[in-house]
Amino acid sequence: MENLIIQPKDKSELNFFLELAKRLGTKISTIESDADERLFQNMEKNRKTSKINRQDVMNTLHNIIKE
C-alpha cells in the first residue's frame, strides 16, 4: 500500500486533514504517534530481558527516532 505525507502549515489545517481522513474512513497516523508506538513495542519486547548498559539503550532509542 502507498502512503501519503501531508505537512500542514498550522494546527487548524492539521485538524482539517485529520477530520477529512476520518470522514473518508481512511487509516491515519501521525509520525509522532507512529514513533511512540514503535518505542512502546520495543520496550514491551525487551521488558523481560536482562539489564544492559546505558549506551546500548541510548543507541537503540537513537535508531528508533531515525526510522
Domain ranges in the chain are 29-67
Axis-axis angle for helices 31-46, 54-66 (nearest 10)? 150
- Predicted TM-score (pTM) above 0.75: no
- Give the span between the Cα atoms of 18 and 36, in whole angstroms: 18
pLDDT confidence of residue 22? 93
pLDDT confidence of residue 29? 78
pLDDT confidence of residue 35? 74
Residues in the chain: 67
Tens of pLDDT, residues 11-60: 999 999 999 999 999 988 777 766 777 788 888 887 877 778 889 889 99
pLDDT confidence of residue 25? 94
